[in-house]
């Protein structure tokens, strides 16, 4: 066990080091760009201003890398513990995996918040000079302060994007390759020690699902906080009331406290899936109550002005915004569970489609994913409608912070999944007793559903965060152009509509690049495993390194193009065609991206669990004979075949094909799109003044 | 042959009659709604106005049904001729199928134009009273006239939607079911007389691809012309110059003449695929030249005002708009060909992915579809950018008309595909000599690619048409609200953004419903065929009726929900939340819908042709051994297996799974989305005054 674990640890360490090496190079280059286009310290020769944005960017990127690294270390230490404790009792195993997730969740949120606060405090005294009595100057300085701090979110999200894309390609190339070559072609068990791709698969869980997901949600938190802070500056009441401006940070702090309290409820004696669900529900309920006293920090009425309109938000409306986000998150989570858990009809119907053919499974799975968009999007539309109407972009940012309110719990549950997945892998590869593998499988199945829920949160909050950042970007552009009054992003403007069209295409382009990368790397992996397996069966030792190498190389090489696409598109669009184009691209990317993200993540989750449903021997073959007769109570069909589908049957193979198709959708392209929409929005915000001042070099709305 | 053909004819006739029966009921109900909400003849008790909109709607619906019916009759008479003539010479077969397509194309476009003109002329004298000398009154009346006429487009598109969705479900349920049950499970040839589902499959080609596609493009033409006419009223120069206002109709007429001329070039002696491509290119070139003299009809400068801004369009800029549309259409077509034809790398790579597994084929096929969005969307963005900047919505409408310029040719080629597909089916079912089937297959393969090109045109033009209609809707709302000056559709407005989010989700919901319908009907079909095949093999006659019945019932029942979704959403959104919500829903639907439509149609086309590539024996197994060695020149692998994949191999099966998954994407959900975005836009336009006056009953932007 320890040997297997060491392989995984080493693999993950090696990959992260390599990935971070390239990321560091990229960040240095990007810092130079920031320096040139945003900070411009040479503009004032005598007192060159401190390059605040660049500095924040570097701090954000470094913190994000640190967070990913810590997460990976925790996960690779806990996985083997979980396997070991499952030997004794499944509950002990659960506790170990769950505690691993906890450490991860609290560490990440704590670090994110702490570094952000340090950054604000250290900038504050320099940016806001107390000398000015003119209120407008103070307002300007406060906004500037938080725009500087936005670099922190930018840094975090940049690292998160490459972490997600790189990690996603890594893990799914290994997973798809190992499954198809091993399970399907050579008929050896998942995670079997005979399969040289399994170590890479398990390493991938750590670098993709732990380091990637951690950095993603870290970025969301940082960005929604930054967006709320930037928008705060428009409100006199918020500026004049002590500490009111830090309200968003306080909400997150309360979330940490509530999450601590919630963990007590994990002791309740019930099924593991229920334990995890109780965590989500209890934390939401506690948060609803705990935030009420905090409202005292806010002034009675908040006068928020946005796009030339005044929004009269009250303390209670602000509370309403947070609640909309918080409860929408829960509804999105429950809807995700309904569509992806094997205890409900949608996934069971998917399993039944496997009785006919793999093609019907795929068709219905795609349809399921598309359909699963409906509830989350209605929730988000309602949230946007009211939060926006009550408190403009401040309301939207609060809703995002509300949705991320119980982030430590969400991260705990997210971290729990890959840890128990890994524990199962270690059990299998160490040739432990079947009983132990069964126990870890039970832990893993529960983790699968909750992982889908976690993705739902991440996507929903990304939508709100991106919208708030979009609002901040527009405001910044208007300020730069000296247009403090009314401004709009008018769809009836050629550049905006063309941008909208183009922006809505970006998530497709991005998905195509990442999915193709997984497909190609998986093909290489299949060739390699196909080459090795006969040798291993003949007695040779499996060459894990070679498989790890394929995944590593593919992910590092193939993460560049999609990453660049996200960062470059809105900037280039703005530079060439003016800020209206950027605004269109951002809005198009948001509204189109979240749809692909939700449907990809849910289709994938449902296929995975339909396969698990089939493997658990619960798929009833007689269900196919709709029009003739039912044999539900008997165990054999008229032709002597067993009623129950088992591993290796054609029907199971159809389920495996669905699962494999879903892999890159749910773990590579889908979750990366969250970051795509957030990152393009925050990039535009940070470069907002640059786009406004220098944009439209080819042609712009003003020149036509 | 004649017996088989009679089966197909009867099946198609029966289905269309049933479908049109239900459609008539729906249209009557919808007419009542139009009467109540739009025409309101009782408002003036003494001189109740004529219900122009309702009347136009009924005419449009009836014409569209007639067009579909004529198309179906032509196709079902030509298919058997094509089979018969292939007996003699493939070129004679080609001529027969191509002429069938021609009759179809010219009939449809001719009828559409004729009826539209009659409608305009008969309304004109009543609506525009010559008495008024006040120019603004004349302008108002002209706009009113064309808004009445928009009912024609609405009627056409409503029938088209149900035709496409119903026909699409019918044809693909039969196709998927017959393929999976017959070809895959029972290993009998495609279209074999042993398979009871083949008649339904061939009937489906006629009702889906002929009647559905005809009605679709008929609707596009009617709507883009209506949109251009409505917008014309904003221009003084257009109103004051004789006949200038009918410029859009003249462009279509020139298109008919150009198409006639182009048909001469089908005599060129080259491959069939080239013959069809030459048609497209030559017609585009001729159109480019032929339109120049027509510009004399237009005034030198067109003063178009839109959304409070004045656009100074010139004669040559108007020409530019048409050219942008025309040539964008060609580029979209060529890009579609690149991604879906088996002569290029993308589809060949897809076939190679089948060497690994069905899952890699699906993953890469989805990625291919996503990637194929890039070029068309860039083309459309550029077209929108310039056409909008030059001539506002008039420019966009002209671009749409330009893209549909050579519509008769496009329809000829579109009709050619299903006719030769059917010819192949008849050859197979009549147990004719293999040679004949080979000839019809050759005709069919060429038709496959050009069908994908036709879909590209349909989607691209739908985007432009919908945008122009969207502009007309906004203008109508502004007029109703008495706001003749500046107005905008501001994304920074809660109701608009929430609508945008919701609207972008609609195409997903719609696709989910149609794909699920195909999946479920196909499952029933598989059961039925599975029940019959053993009996047929034992000597019983195939029961085609039963299979036709499954398709008919499924399509009639399952077309209601998606159809209602499209028509109801923007209306209900506007009624409940005000016109800003409707505007958002429309814009969201357009930008998100065309992406799904392009990618679905191209993924499906590429999978289909990857399968054809494999079946043609061109897939080289040794390509898999990337890292070890190549055996490209030898015909056997080291293990003695043939290098070339043939029908029935695992690799071929992987290709068939891809093809089957693509079927509903490319022929049911994908092409229906065109109509979705056009229909929701024109519904909103026709109900525009109603939404503006009565909208926002729950809550609206003005009440918050």
CB-nearest partner of A657 from B358, B389, B592: B358
C-alpha to C-alpha distance for B329 and A564, rounded to whole angstroms: 29
Q: What is the mean pLDDT of chain A?
A: 86
Residue B144's CB: how many other CB atoms inside 10 A?
A: 17
Burial-class residue B557 by CB neighbours within 10 Å (0-12, 13-18, 19+).
Answer: middle
Least confident of A371-380, A457-466, B223-232: B223-232
Give residue B632's pLDDT: 47
C-alpha to C-alpha distance for B644 and B614, rounded to whole angstroms: 9
Give residue B189's pLDDT: 72
Q: What is the mean pLDDT of chain B?
A: 86
Cβ-Cβ contacts under 8 Å, B521 against chain A: none
Give residue A484's pLDDT: 62
Give residue A266's pLDDT: 83
Is A82 in contact with A420 (CB distance < 8 Å)?
Answer: yes
Q: SS3 sequence, B195-229?
A: CCCHHHHHHHHHHHHHHHHHHHHHHHHHHHHHHHH
Residue at A543 is within a domain: yes
CB-nearest partner of B504 from A499, A502, A592: A592
Question: Residue A627 above 70 pLDDT?
Answer: no
Give residue B582's pLDDT: 93
Q: What is the mean pLDDT of residues A227-252?
A: 85
Confidence of residue B704 (pLDDT cuts 50, 70, 90): low
Residue at A366 is within a domain: no
User: What percentage of chain B exceeds 90 in pLDDT?
Assistant: 32
Cβ-Cβ contacts under 8 Å, A610 against chain B: none
The separation between CA B146 and the C-alpha centre of its own chain, rounded to angstroms, equals 24
Q: What is the mean pLDDT of residues A265-277?
A: 83
Is B88 in contact with B69 (CB distance < 8 Å)?
Answer: no
* Best mean pLDDT range from A189-203, A301-315, A426-440, A677-691: A677-691
B377-401: per-residue pLDDT in tens? 999 999 999 999 998 889 999 999 9
Question: Residue B626 above 60 pLDDT?
Answer: no
Give residue B631's pLDDT: 45
- Helices and strands, counts by H and E, chain A: 22, 2
CB-nearest partner of B359 from A366, A490, A660: A660
Cβ neighbours for B335, distance < 8 A, ≥ 6 positions apart: B372, B375, B376, B379, B456
* Total count of residues recorded for chain A: 704
Please name which of B668, B368, B679 lies closest in space to residue B511, comparing C-alpha atoms: B668
C-alpha to C-alpha distance for B354 and A376, rounded to whole angstroms: 35
Residue at A19 is within a domain: yes
Question: Residue A89 above 70 pLDDT?
Answer: yes
Cβ neighbours for B202, distance < 8 A, ≥ 6 positions apart: B8, B11, B191, B421, B422, B425, B426, B429
Confidence of residue A443 (pLDDT cuts 50, 70, 90): confident
**Residue A664 at interface with chain B, using a CB cutoff of 8 Å:** yes
Place of tokens 């419903």: B513
Residue at A615 is within a domain: no
B549-576: per-residue pLDDT in tens? 888 888 888 888 998 898 889 999 999 9
Residue at A396 is within a domain: no
Confidence of residue B630 (pLDDT cuts 50, 70, 90): very low
Give residue A387's pLDDT: 94
C-alpha to C-alpha distance for A36 and A145, rounded to whole angstroms: 19
Q: What is the mean pLDDT of residues A243-247?
A: 87
Confidence of residue B542 (pLDDT cuts 50, 70, 90): confident
**Residue A488 at interface with chain B, using a CB cutoff of 8 Å:** yes
Question: Residue B589 above 80 pLDDT?
Answer: yes
Question: Residue B591 above 90 pLDDT?
Answer: yes
Rounded (5°) CA angle B439-B443-B444: 110
Q: What is the mean pLDDT of residues B54-58?
A: 93
Give residue A631's pLDDT: 45
Q: Where are the alpha helices (DSSP H) in A128-235?
A: 135-178, 198-204, 213-232
Q: What is the mean pLDDT of residues A506-521?
A: 93
CB-nearest partner of A364 from B356, B516, B577: B516
Cβ-Cβ contacts under 8 Å, B496 against chain A: 491
Confidence of residue B627 (pLDDT cuts 50, 70, 90): very low
Contact between chains at A377 and B505 (C-beta distance less than 8 A)? yes
Please name which of B587, B551, B553 lies closest in space to residue B570, comparing C-alpha atoms: B587
Give residue B628's pLDDT: 45
Least confident of B347-356, B475-484, B527-536: B475-484
Least confident of B65-69, B626-630, B637-641: B626-630
Q: Which residue range(s) make up the domain with B205?
A: 2-703
Q: Min CA distance, A507 vs chain B (Å)?
A: 9
Give residue B269's pLDDT: 82
Who has greater pLDDT, B137 or B607?
Answer: B607
Cβ-Cβ contacts under 8 Å, B389 against chain A: 494, 704
Who has greater pLDDT, B212 or B57?
Answer: B57
Contact between chains at A661 and B362 (C-beta distance less than 8 A)? yes
Q: Min CA distance, B382 vs chain A (Å)?
A: 7
B505-524: per-residue pLDDT in tens? 999 999 999 999 999 999 88
Question: Residue A22 above 70 pLDDT?
Answer: yes
* Best mean pLDDT range from A34-38, A593-597, B493-497: A593-597
C-alpha to C-alpha distance for B205 and B84, rounded to whole angstroms: 19
Who has greater pLDDT, B321 or B35?
Answer: B321
Q: What is the mean pLDDT of residues A468-491?
A: 82
Give residue A130's pLDDT: 64
Give residue B411's pLDDT: 86
Residue A64's CB: how many other CB atoms inside 10 A?
A: 33
A302-328: per-residue pLDDT in tens? 888 888 788 888 999 999 999 999 999
CB within 8 Å of chain A, chain B residues 375-394 = 377-378, 380-382, 384-386, 388-389
Place of tokens 């409900």: A344
Tokens of A159: 């690292």
Give residue A704's pLDDT: 61
Phi-psi region of A696 (alpha: psi -120 to 50; beta: other; left: phi over 0): left
A136-184: per-residue pLDDT in tens? 788 888 888 888 888 998 998 888 888 888 888 998 988 888 888 877 7
ipTM confidence = 0.92
Q: Report the residue of A370, A460, A558 to disrupt the B interface, i.e. the one with the largest count of B CBs within 10 Å.
A: A370
Tokens of B681: 């836009």
Helix/strand/coil percentages in chain B, nearest 5: 80, 0, 15
A532-590: per-residue pLDDT in tens? 888 888 888 888 888 888 888 888 888 889 988 988 899 999 999 988 999 999 999 99
Cβ neighbours for B572, distance < 8 A, ≥ 6 positions apart: none
A493-511: per-residue pLDDT in tens? 889 999 999 999 999 999 9
Q: What is the mean pLDDT of residues A471-483?
A: 84
Q: Report the residue of A381, A383, A577, A596 to disrupt the B interface, i.e. the one with the largest count of B CBs within 10 Å.
A: A381
Residue B485's CB: how many other CB atoms inside 10 A?
A: 10
SS3 B617: coil
Split into its structural domains, chain A has a count of: 1
Q: What is the mean pLDDT of residues A619-648?
A: 69
Give residue A191's pLDDT: 73
CB-nearest partner of A488 from B362, B488, B624: B488
Residue at A606 is within a domain: no
Question: Residue A412 above 80 pLDDT?
Answer: yes
Q: How far is CA A327 from CA A288, A404, A460, B493, in A?
A: 9, 11, 11, 23
Residue B511's CB: how many other CB atoms inside 10 A?
A: 29
Dihedrals phi, psi of A620, to nearest 5 degrees: -95, 110
The separation between CA B645 and the C-alpha centre of its own chain, rounded to angstroms, equals 35
Dihedrals phi, psi of B620, to nearest 5 degrees: -95, 110
Is A201 in contact with A418 (CB distance < 8 Å)?
Answer: no
C-alpha to C-alpha distance for A59 and A61, rounded to whole angstroms: 6
Least confident of A355-359, B228-232, B358-362: B228-232
Question: Residue B162 above 90 pLDDT?
Answer: no
Residue at A95 is within a domain: yes
Give residue A491's pLDDT: 87
């Amino acid at each position: 066990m320890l040997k297997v674990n060491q392989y995984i640890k080493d693999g993950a360490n090696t990959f992260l080091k390599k990935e971070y090496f390239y990321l560091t190079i990229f960040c240095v280059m990007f810092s130079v760009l920031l320096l040139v286009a945003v900070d411009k310290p040479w503009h004032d020769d005598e007192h060159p201003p401190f390059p605040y944005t660049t500095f924040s960017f570097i701090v954000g990127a470094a913190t994000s890398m640190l967070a990913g690294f810590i997460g990976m270390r925790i996960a690779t230490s806990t996985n083997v513990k979980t396997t070991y404790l499952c030997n004794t009792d499944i509950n002990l195993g659960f506790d170990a995996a769950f505690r691993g997730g906890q450490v991860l969740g609290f560490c990440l949120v704590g670090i994110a918040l702490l570094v952000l606060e340090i950054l604000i405090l250290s900038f504050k005294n320099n940016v806001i000079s107390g000398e000015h009595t003119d209120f407008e100057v103070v307002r300007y300085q406060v906004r500037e302060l938080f725009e500087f701090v936005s670099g922190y979110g930018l840094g975090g999200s940049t690292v998160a994007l490459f972490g997600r894309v790189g990690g996603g390609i890594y893990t799914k190339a290994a997973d798809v390759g190992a499954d198809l070559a091993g399970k399907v072609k050579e008929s050896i068990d998942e995670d079997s020690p005979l399969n040289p791709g399994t170590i890479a698969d398990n390493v991938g869980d750590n670098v993709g699902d732990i380091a990637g997901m951690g950095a993603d949600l870290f970025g969301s938190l940082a960005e929604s906080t930054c967006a709320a802070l930037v928008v705060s500056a428009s409100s006199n009441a918020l500026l004049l009331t002590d500490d009111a401006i830090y309200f968003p940070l306080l909400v997150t702090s309360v979330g940490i406290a509530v999450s601590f309290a919630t963990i007590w409820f994990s002791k309740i004696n019930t099924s593991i899936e229920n334990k995890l669900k109780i965590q989500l529900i209890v934390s939401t309920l506690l948060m609803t109550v705990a935030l009420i006293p905090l409202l005292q920090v806010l002034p009675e009425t908040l006068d928020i002005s946005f796009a030339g309109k005044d929004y009269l938000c009250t303390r209670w409306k602000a509370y309403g915004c947070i609640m909309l986000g918080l409860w929408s998150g829960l509804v999105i989570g429950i809807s995700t569970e309904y569509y992806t858990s094997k205890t409900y009809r949608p996934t069971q119907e998917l399993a039944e489609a496997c009785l006919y053919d793999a093609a019907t499974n795929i068709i219905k799975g795609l349809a399921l994913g598309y359909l699963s968009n409906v509830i989350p999007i209605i929730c988000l539309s309602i949230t946007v409608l009211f939060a926006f109407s009550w408190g403009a972009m401040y309301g939207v940012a609060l809703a995002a912070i509300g949705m991320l309110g119980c982030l430590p719990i969400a991260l705990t549950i997210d971290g729990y999944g890959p840890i128990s997945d890994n524990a199962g892998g270690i059990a299998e590869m160490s040739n432990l007793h079947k009983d132990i593998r069964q126990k870890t499988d039970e832990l893993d199945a529960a983790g699968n559903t909750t992982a889908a829920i976690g993705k739902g949160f991440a996507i929903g909050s990304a939508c709100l965060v991106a919208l708030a950042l979009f609002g901040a970007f527009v405001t910044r552009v208007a300020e730069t152009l000296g247009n403090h009054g009314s401004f709009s992003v008018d769809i009836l403007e050629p550049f905006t509509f063309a941008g909208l069209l183009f922006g809505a295409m970006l998530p497709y382009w991005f998905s195509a690049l990442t999915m193709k990368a997984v497909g190609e790397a998986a093909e290489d992996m299949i060739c390699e495993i196909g080459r090795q397996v006969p040798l291993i069966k003949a007695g040779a030792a499996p060459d894990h390194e070679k498989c790890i190498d394929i995944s590593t190389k593919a992910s590092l090489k193939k993460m560049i193009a999609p990453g660049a696409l996200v960062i470059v598109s809105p900037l280039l669009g703005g530079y060439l065609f003016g800020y209206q184009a950027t605004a269109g691209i951002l809005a198009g990317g948001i509204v189109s991206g979240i749809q692909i993200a939700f449907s990809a993540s849910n289709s994938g989750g449902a296929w995975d669990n339909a396969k698990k449903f089939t493997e658990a021997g619960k798929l009833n073959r007689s269900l196919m004979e709709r029009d003739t007769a039912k044999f539900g109570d008997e165990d054999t069909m008229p032709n002597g075949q067993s009623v129950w589908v088992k591993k290796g049957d054609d029907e199971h193979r159809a389920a495996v094909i669905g699962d494999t198709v879903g892999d890159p959708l749910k773990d590579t392209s889908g979750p990366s799109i969250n970051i795509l929409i957030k990152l393009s929005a925050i990039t535009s915000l940070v470069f907002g003044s640059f786009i406004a001042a220098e944009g439209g070099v080819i042609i712009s709305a003003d020149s036509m």
